[in-house]
Amino acid sequence: MLRLEVIHERHRRAYLEAAKEFFDQPEPDADFFYELAHDDFTEVVRRYHNRARGIDLPPAYAQEYKYLLMDGDVVVGRGGIRPEPNDEHMRSHGHIGYVIRPSCRNRGYGTAALTHLLRRSAELGIREPIIVCKPDNHASLNIIKKMGGAFLDTVTLPDGSTRTRYHMPESKP
């Protein structure tokens, strides 16, 4: 069963196993923390915690509570909740993001991840979470629609690419 955990030194081995999949086959939607983990896992932990506190944010980043998605001792992916994205973040990333490691896809983890992250975002006081998706990300769109997401709009980013945005129904905390 899936659960959210805040990253800790004890996750080092499991995290590196998940990171290896992205390191071997980089994906645009997987963040660079997976690459950094091979050189300095302690630094990864520090940056996750700083993101959650809104400290040392790179210019294009919003404060974000980041979680490992765990099934037993296995890191199946990671998720994040941005409680107060500015307008730019709201167009490009929205309130919630998540990635499932390639070897764990198509087994229901993505759907379970969004269910947990919506519940946690309600606990954080986010009433109308917005999820942003690339228009050709069919797996993600499938999950959003299955979970009752309502189309909000399509936006164009500064690099000319487009994103579709969905309002998710309010979860019970």
Based on the shown chain and the rule CB under 6 A, indicate whether residue 56 belongs to the binding site for ligand COA. no
Based on the shown chain and the rule CB under 6 A, indicate whether residue 108 belongs to the binding site for ligand COA. yes
- Rounded Cα distance between 80 and 101, Å, is 15
- Minimum distance between the CB of residue 35 and ligand COA, rounded to whole angstroms? 16
Count of Cβ atoms closer than 10 Å to residue 155 Cβ: 14
Distances (CA, A) of 142 to 10, 37, 86, 88, 149: 34, 31, 26, 25, 10
Question: Of 142 and 156, which has the nearer Cβ to ligand COA?
Answer: 142
Among 80, 110, 129, 149, binds ligand COA (CB under 6 A): 110
Question: Of 14 and 46, which has the nearer Cβ to ligand COA?
Answer: 14
Q: In DSSP terms, which residues pair with 156 in a beta bridge?
A: 162
- Rounded Cα distance between 1 and 112, Å, is 9
Count of Cβ atoms closer than 10 Å to residue 53 Cβ: 10
Among 16, 36, 71, 111, binds ligand COA (CB under 6 A): 111
**Of all residues in this chain, which one has the CB nearest to ligand COA in the complex?**
110
- Minimum distance between the CB of residue 12 and ligand COA, rounded to whole angstroms? 22
Name the DSSP letter for residue 81: E
Based on the shown chain and the rule CB under 6 A, indicate whether residue 145 belongs to the binding site for ligand COA. no
- Minimum distance between the CB of residue 162 and ligand COA, rounded to whole angstroms? 14
Among 14, 90, 137, 167, binds ligand COA (CB under 6 A): 137
Among 41, 48, 98, 166, binds ligand COA (CB under 6 A): 98
Strand order in the sheet with 96-100: 2-5, 65-71, 74-81, 96-100
